[in-house]
Amino acid sequence: MTPSKPVKALLRWAAIGGLGGYGVYALFAGLAFDLARPDVEWFQFWTLTVPFVLVFSGIFITPAYFLLRRQYQNLCILAATLAALVVLLVLVSIPEDLGLSERIRRWTIESEWGLAFGLPYGLVALIAPFYVARWVYRHGLALLLRHVHDTTPPQSAD
Helices (H), the chain: 5-35, 42-44, 50-68, 72-98, 100-110, 113-147
Closest residue by Cα to residue 141 from 64, 82, 73, 69? 73
Predicted structure pTM score = 0.68
Rounded-to-integer distance, Cα 131 and Cα 148, Å: 25
| pLDDT tens per residue across span 110-154 | 666 666 666 777 788 888 888 888 888 888 888 877 777 655 454
| Domain boundaries along the sequence of the chain | 1-70, 71-150
Closest residue by Cα to residue 148 from 77, 73, 58, 62? 73
| pLDDT tens per residue across span 38-84 | 887 878 888 888 899 999 999 999 999 998 998 888 888 888 998 99
